[in-house]
Structure 1
Amino acid sequence: MRRIHGGDVYSLGREVLDLSVNLNPMGPPREALEVLSRELEGLVTRYPDLECRTSTRAIARYLGLPEECVTVSNGASMAIQLCLMALRPRRVLTLEPTFTEYRLCAEALGIGSLPLPSLDRDRGLVPDPEAIWSALEEGDALFVCNPNNPTGNEVERGTLLEIAELCRRKGAHLVVDECFLELSTSGEGGSLKEEAAGGAAVVIRAMTKSFAAPGLRIGYVVSSPDLAARLRELRHPWPLNNLAEAFAQRALIGAEEYLSRARALIRANRERLILGISKAGGKPYPSDCNFVLFYFPGNVDLRGELLKRDVLIRSCADFLGLGEGHYRVAVAREEEVDLFLRALEGISVSS
């Protein structure tokens, strides 16, 4: 299975408005960028810390958890790989449609996967505890993306706790990907980070989306201390460079206010985006975070048509359970949302 992700502006050879990746529309915290600029020479010429102590300490303080429960990784993709290597499930269960890396990483490690169709057209991704209970006879690790990519909706915390209990009773592992949670409606209120620290689940996060820093590849896992020790044994040396460590340390100071302002901006622009897509003939799914999945009917390659207008969105045809006509667009700044909607207005659903 070929990897397809947003953000592939490199193959285009020109500048476009990239709404195929879902980053915090506020951009990175200015103070963190200033630290990198001011200390650049030292950060480049000094060897990184093998154990990433600076970022581990900063992340643990930000989460309000012990340092021994945090394992830093080179982005969320490495975190997924580390979890699979440490847990060694015989088969991975995924609620589809969802982030494809769970299945791809499992496949690369020789681990089987079992997709569970979980799409509700009116509500997005809706886990079925009864179906999960039955599937846990065949798989012993369940990956849940919350909020889910690409549907954008949150899974209720009560449902996640119910699923965690099902996994416990079956002797299975629950891995929750919270990479978009800090930008979602619930924010930290929907997290299972404390349950993960206590061993009832495993949580994967990254600063890629929430802090608009995809180029630095700052990911981490929250888990029990015992599992964290195993993850660190499996992790390759120097998972973060000095720029990433310095950015994480500064960006997480005062992060609550920064993320609160981001959520307010996202909420306002998301409503405008959903309304505009609907007016253009699209059918948006409900979203709780910083992107919107929608269906655009008719015989039209919407991604291709928008590219002619220098706007890039994510085709979701490769996600299980979606197919042609499904697209994902980031909730960006107001002026960028306007550019997208103006480009969309000129495209007919019957083209």
Structure 2
Amino acid sequence: MNDRSELLSQLPLRENLRGLSPYGAPQIDVPIQLNVNENTHPLPQTVVEAIAQEVAKAATSLNRYPDREFTELRELLADYLGHSLTAENIWAANGSNEILQQILQAFGGPGRSLMSFGPTYSMYPLLASGTDTAYIAGERSEDFTLSAESAAQQVREHKPNIVFLCSPNNPTGTALGLDVITAVYDAASEHNGMVIVDEAYAEFSLSSTKSALTLLEGRQRLIVSRTMSKAFGLAGARVGYLAAAPEVTDAIRLVRLPYHLSAVTQATAIAALKNIDLLLAQVEDIKSQRDRIVARLKELGLNPSVSDSNFVFFGGLENPHAVWEGLLEAGIIVRDNGIPGTLRVTAGTESETTAFLDHLAELLGAEK
């Protein structure tokens, strides 16, 4: 009997989807999971109870469709972001991946193109394929940085309809300077292109790093994408959102599914935003563990990148996959992105971070 891949090939699948694999990091049940950049700290009990109350209230009317405009949620998100934003500037969806997909549905599609600069978030080309948008792989320098001059030159050369800038970048963890974003926006403006800054990890940025939210005013085709999965610890709730000019949110409404954000999802996000101080209090602890990882990796002779995120990308490994396997045997999973000589690790709790660093030191010592 044919295997599943052969059976799949018999279906009248779109040609640009043939041969692709679904996105997804390994889901392996081990005690210490530091591979998908989740917030490793459980939600405070006060927030759990607040969410339960909001969801219970929503459950009394689940026989009705939810607020299609999720007005209260948009107002709370605008208040959280600041920068004189209002609900008219905000849109939300089921995770930032759906936000990016809706952007591509509105501004991409057949005959149009998306450009980003690798290595970067591996979902970008998959989202492009899913919306039949051509993907253009831009380039970074050998140390994975991206200069304003290089980025703008590449945008002018390829003239993409859409540019995705991941800042802080995944998997490298380093944020882009505002000069890079403005240079890309100016270059894209020459052919009426859209520029999206994916700030999924913005809350973990270094104090000197500035958000692209500061650039929104007067830039009609600039979008800043955010998520509640990381700093808020709501990966399981699936809530992403964007900030942009009101006409951009109007464009997204043209492609969103009816009532796409469930009443339960809205209630969960609203409860979280009403308890934002409790949630963001964990961010500082995560940043301290991240900085601890960076310092110890340097002591071990490795090369961690500057991290504005809740993870650390590091090089200098002779056999990264062997190290990955050694850590897995110890009950610790990190991310092997397939980039030669490198691995990526999420900043965990203090005990998780200690276990990772101790086992990594043992593995490196055994290699010598």
Task: Give the TM bin, normalised by the shorter chain.
Answer: 0.7 to 0.9
Q: Does 1:343 align with 2:325?
A: no
What value does the CA root-mean-square deviation take over the aligned residues? 2.5
Q: Which of 13, 18, 21 matches 1:2?
A: 21
Give, as a single letter, the amino acid of the residue that structure 1 aligns with 2:172.
Answer: T
Structure having the higher Rg:
2
Aligned to 1:209: 230
**Match of 1:37?**
52
Moved more, 241-250 or 306-315: 241-250
Aligned residues: percent identity? 26
Letter in 2 for 1:163: V
1:85 matched to 2:101? The reply is: no
Which amino acid is 1:333 matched to? T
Alpha-carbon distance in structure 2 between the residues aligned to 1:128 and 1:173: 17
1:33 aligned partner, one-letter code: V
Return the letter of the residue paired with 1:229.
Answer: D
For 1:114, which of 136, 139, 159 is the aligned residue?
A: 136
Q: Which moved more, 1:26-35 or 1:271-280?
A: 26-35
- Pair 1:136–1:106, CA change in 2 (3 A): farther
The reply on whether 1:314 has 2:335 as its aligned counterpart is: yes
1:53 is aligned to 71
- Pick aligned residue for 2:124 from 80, 87, 102: 102
User: What do the CA deviations read for 1:308-327 (whole angstroms, capped 9, x no partner)?
Assistant: 1110111111xxxxx24321
Instruction: In structure 1, give the amino acid aligned to 2:347.
Output: V
Superimposed CA distance per residue, residues 162-194 of structure 1 (whole angstroms, 9 cap, x where no aligned partner): 222222233211111011112211488423365
Q: Name the aligned partner's letter for residue 345 of structure 1.
A: A
List runs of 5+ in structure 2 lacking aligned partners: 1-19
CA distance in 2, matches of 1:16, 1:187: 35
* Aligned AA (1:95): F
Name which of structure 1's ranges 287-296 and 25-34 shifts more when overlaid on structure 2: 25-34
Q: CA deviation at 1:100?
A: 1.4
Partner Cα distance (2:218, 2:35) in 1:
33
8 Å Cα contact 1:69/1:228 also seen in 2: yes
Cα displacement (A) at 1:256: 5.9
Bigger mean CA offset, 85-94 vs 124-133: 124-133
Alignment partners' CA distance in 1, 2:219 and 2:174 = 26
2:231/2:279 contact within 8 Å kept:
no
Q: Distance in 2 between matches of 1:130 and 1:188?
A: 20
Partners in 1 of 2:285 and 2:142 — Cα distance? 27
**In structure 2, what is the Cα distance between the partners aligned to 1:66 and 1:224?**
10
Secondary structure of residue in 1 paired with 2:138 = strand
Aligned-partner SS, 1:267: helix
One-letter amino acid of the structure 2 residue matched with residue 2 of structure 1: S
Distance in 2 of aligned mates of 1:211 and 1:197 = 29
CA change 1:301–1:148 in 2 (3 A) is same
* Aligned CA distance change for structure 1 residues 54 and 197 (closer, same or farther; 3 Å): farther
Mean Cα deviation higher: 187-196 or 145-154:
187-196
Indicate whether 1:326 and 2:342 are aligned.
yes
For residue 212 of structure 2, what is the aligned residue in structure 1? Answer: 191
State the TM-score, normalizing by the size of structure 2: 0.83
Hey, what's the Cα distance between the residues in 1 that align with 2:218 and 2:258?
24
Q: Distance in 1 between matches of 2:148 and 2:54?
A: 50
The alpha-carbon deviation at position 227 of structure 1 amounts to: 1.8
Between the aligned partners of 1:104 and 1:240, the Cα distance in structure 2 is 23
In structure 2, the CA distance between the partners of 1:173 and 1:133, relative to structure 1 (3 Å rule), is farther
Q: Is the 8 A contact 2:177 2:210 kept in 1?
A: no
Q: Deviations over 1:54-112 (max 9, x none)?
A: 31221122223121211111101111110011112611111111001111111122111
| 1:119-169, Cα deviation, whole Å (9 max, x unpaired) | 442xx4323434533433422211100111111111112331222222223
Aligned amino acid, residue 234 of structure 2: A
Secondary structure of the residue aligned to 2:291 is helix
Other structure's SS at 2:363 match: coil
What is the match of residue 292 of structure 1?
Answer: 312
Does the Cα contact within 8 Å between 1:32 and 1:250 map onto a contact in 2? Answer: yes
8 Å Cα contact 1:217/1:240 also seen in 2: no
Partners in 1 of 2:289 and 2:251 — Cα distance?
A: 42
Q: Is the 8 A contact 2:34 2:332 kept in 1?
A: yes
Contact kept in structure 2, 1:180 and 1:209, CA below 8 Å:
yes
What is the aligned counterpart of 2:36 among 18, 21, 26?
Answer: 21
Q: Alignment length, in residue pairs?
A: 339
- Counterpart AA for 1:67: A
Q: Distance in 2 between matches of 1:287 and 1:57?
A: 31
Structure 1's consecutive aligned runs of 4 or more residues displaced over 6 angstroms after TM superposition are none
